[in-house]
Chain A
Amino acid sequence: QKEVEQNSGPLSVPEGAIASLNCTYSDRGSQSFFWYRQYSGKSPELIMFIYSNGDKEDGRFTAQLNKASQYVSLLIRDSQPSDSATYLCAPYRYGQNFVFGPGTRLSVLP
């Protein structure tokens, strides 16, 4: 079983729709969960992180965490073409290295 699993995509959604990106992880000791956005040819940039079960909202982004199910997701509301990118999930166990998922490629269609 891979440490971090994400659907590779591409996930295609129409402009204005909600994009739902999912991530499962194997390390039950993971404590914080990070979402990065990476445009083609660019480096990953931090979007948000979550460490408590439930939802965390930041603008159009909502992270959802369910530690019992070892599942974290990122919802993007009112998706825009500029949201088209690869989204990386990264669970983190305090004091250790981040573990990055393979990423999900999102395509928002105008």
Chain B
Amino acid sequence: DVKVTQSSRYLVKRTGEKVFLECVQDMDHENMFWYRQDPGLGLRLIYFSYDVKMKEKGDIPEGYSVSREKKERFSLILESASTNQTSMYLCASRTYSGGGADTQYFGPGTRLTVL
């Protein structure tokens, strides 16, 4: 079974703090993704990475950065947390063949509250 884990299920931080969210997958997937999910707004892509040390901006990258130093680990960084970054953060990893076998799996999510 594919396993995607995230460092915390719940996190409470203060405005201005630097926040690290970590994601680890154990299936040797090349592609990894960070989303946030808010009521009424659906899943929104923040950043993604197609390989080690590669990163691409998604639809809402402002206020976030990422790091992918190892294939299995993809970190999301909030440089200076703000209250509008309170959300559910979801990491995902994906097989990649460029074809029909590609499948994306999600981690359990981190519910972040910024006070």
Binding site for B on A (CB under 8 A): 31-32, 34, 36, 41-46, 49, 51, 88, 90, 92, 94-95, 97-98, 100-103
Contacts and interface: CB of A to CB of B under 8 A. Distances in A.
A53 to B, nearest CB: 14
Contacts of B90: 43-44
Given A94-B99, A95-B98, A97-B48, A102 B42 contact: yes
In terms of DSSP, what is the predominant structure of the interface of chain A?
Answer: loop
Contacts of B111: 41
Given A43-B90, A44-B90, A98 B109 contact: no
Contacts of A92: 102
A27 B107 CA distance: 27
A59 B40 CA distance: 31
Nearest to B33: A97
In terms of DSSP, what is the predominant structure of the interface of chain B?
Answer: strand
A101 B102 contact: no
B103 interface: yes
Nearest to B111: A41
Interface in B1-56: 33, 42-43, 45, 48
B108 interface: yes
Interface size class of chain B, counting residues whose CB lies under 8 Å from the partner chain: 20 to 34
A10 to B, nearest CB: 14
- Nearest 7 CB-CB pairs, A to B? A43-B106, A43-B109, A100-B43, A102-B42, A95-B98, A51-B100, A44-B106
Interface of B: 33, 42-43, 45, 48, 58, 90, 94, 98-100, 102-109, 111
A63 to B, nearest CB: 14
Contacts of A49: 103
Contact of B43 (A32, A34, A41, A88): A88
Contacts of B58: 97
A31 B100 contact: yes
21 contacts: A31-B100, A32-B102, A34-B103, A34-B104, A42-B108, A43-B90, A43-B106, A43-B107, A43-B108, A44-B43, A44-B90, A46-B103, A92-B102, A94-B98, A94-B102, A95-B98, A97-B48, A97-B58, A98-B94, A100-B42, A101-B42
